[in-house]
Amino acid sequence: MRYHNITHDDMKNGDGLRVVLWVAGCSHNCKGCQNPVTWDPNGGLPFDEDAKNEIFDQLSKDYISGITFSGGDPLHVMNIQGVRELAAQIKEEYPLKTIWVYTGELWENIKSDPLIQYTDVLVDGPYMQELGDNTLRWKGSKNQRVIDVQESLKSGEVVLHCPEY
């Protein structure tokens, strides 16, 4: 896995203050993507021990609500195994911190992935410029869903994290 950035105290990519890992690699080619620089899976930096320590150091702070995986696409073939392993370690060490994942994939196609068991909220689907709306909370276009993953798994149907968005 490679990554472009780790941002701290982020308020725009999930509930509370979060650490965000921006991975490299995305094959969705959404028209109007804000981050095309992240599409190349060979871009950015290798995700190494220093990067991992930086994330765990952030998560150790009481005021950090959790981690958000964004990019790029955390479910890109070059990222998914690294993201699964990191999410598993985070849930083991910090079970009360939440894990949010942004992906261009659809919930229906990925709900069986091992990453999902560690995920609290999934923002799914490609960015669609014609449905774009910068007043939406936690997502860029109206087709995307902010999904309460654990409740969706329990009920067998999509449950939104907050129905009004």
Comparison of 7 and 35: residue with beta carbon closer to ligand SF4: 35
126 binds ligand SF4 (CB under 6 A): yes
Q: How far is the CB of 35 from ligand SF4 (least distance, A)?
A: 5
Distance between CA 33 and CA 49 in Å, rounded? 30
Q: Find all residues with CB under 8 Å of 50, minimum gap 6, and list them.
A: none
124 binds ligand SF4 (CB under 6 A): no
100 binds ligand SF4 (CB under 6 A): no
Q: How far is the CB of 21 from ligand SF4 (least distance, A)?
A: 13
Q: How, if at all, do strands 2-10 and 45-46 pair? A: antiparallel
Task: Give me the amino acid identity at 161.
Answer: H
5 binds ligand SF4 (CB under 6 A): no
End-to-end CA distance of the chain: 31
Q: How far is the CB of 102 from ligand SF4 (least distance, A)?
A: 7
Backbone angles phi, psi at 71, to 5 degrees: 180, -135
144 binds ligand SF4 (CB under 6 A): no
CA angle 22, 52, 54 (to 5 degrees): 85
Binding mask 49-78 for ligand SF4 (x = CB under 6 A): ----------------------xxx-----
41 binds ligand SF4 (CB under 6 A): no
29 binds ligand SF4 (CB under 6 A): yes
Task: Give me the amino acid identity at 60.
Answer: S
Q: How far is the CB of 95 from ligand SF4 (least distance, A)?
A: 28
Task: Give me the amino acid identity at 65.
Answer: S
Distance between CA 118 and CA 85 in Å, rounded? 10
Interface with ligand SF4 (CB under 6 A): 26, 28-30, 33, 35, 38, 71-73, 104, 126-127
